[in-house]
């Protein structure tokens, strides 16, 4: 059997297995990447999220808004680095917070936008929490907020809308 035929057969088997997993447990599919920012829970839709990078100190740029921390060379691409904590004007929560654990630079991550959103920007998050799916959550009375089984409130961030928001795209002071 040639390599091309073997690859084709492998892809067919993999597609079939993925489809059977989707059919058997569609409610188990993860929908969001859960992160912590300033002691609060946020979720990014997986379909809008891109690559996750370890913390990398950005090169500052003059004459930009304070939430635009600078640029970083990530895998050969020059990316803008945005602090969502500053962009959303979030003050750190006190010790009574759900995520009241001291954040270190080892915990901090950079989350990219999905390539389809065409935005060379990464978002600074204090900590990755994990994946969340809809069946684990209940709606709250506030739009795009959900409560998990541990009674923690999570705010969904629409990365597509953020990538198209003129206030987010305009970084100059």
The pTM assigned to this predicted structure is: 0.79
Environment class of residue 42 by beta-carbon count within 10 Å: exposed (0-12), middle (13-18) or buried (19+)? Answer: buried
Domain spans, the chain: 1-29, 31-169
Indicate the average pLDDT of the chain: 86
Q: Report whether pLDDT(99) > 60.
A: no
Domain 31-169 listed as CATH 3.30.300.130: no
CA 11 to chain centre: 29
Q: How confident is the model at residue 105 (pLDDT cuts 50, 70, 90)?
A: confident
Whole-number percent of the chain with pLDDT over 90: 69
CA distances from 32 to 76, 118, 124, 137, 172 (A): 27, 20, 17, 11, 31
């Amino acid at each position: 059997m040639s390599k091309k035929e073997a690859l084709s057969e492998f892809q067919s088997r993999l597609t079939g297995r993925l489809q059977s997993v989707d059919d058997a447990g569609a409610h188990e599919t993860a929908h969001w990447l859960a992160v912590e920012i300033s002691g609060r829970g946020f979720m990014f839709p997986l379909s809008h999220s891109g690559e996750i990078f370890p913390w990398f100190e950005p090169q500052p740029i003059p004459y930009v808004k304070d939430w635009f921390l600078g640029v970083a060379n990530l895998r050969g691409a020059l990316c803008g680095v945005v602090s969502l904590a500053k962009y959303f004007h979030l003050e750190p929560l006190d010790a009574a917070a759900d995520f009241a654990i001291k954040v270190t630079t080892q915990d901090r991550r950079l989350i990219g936008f999905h390539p389809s959103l065409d935005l060379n920007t990464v978002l600074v998050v204090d900590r990755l929490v994990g994946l969340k799916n809809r069946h684990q959550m209940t709606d709250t009375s506030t739009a795009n907020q959900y409560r998990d089984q541990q009674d923690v409130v999570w705010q969904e961030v629409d990365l597509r809308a953020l990538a198209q928001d003129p206030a987010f795209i305009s970084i100059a002071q």
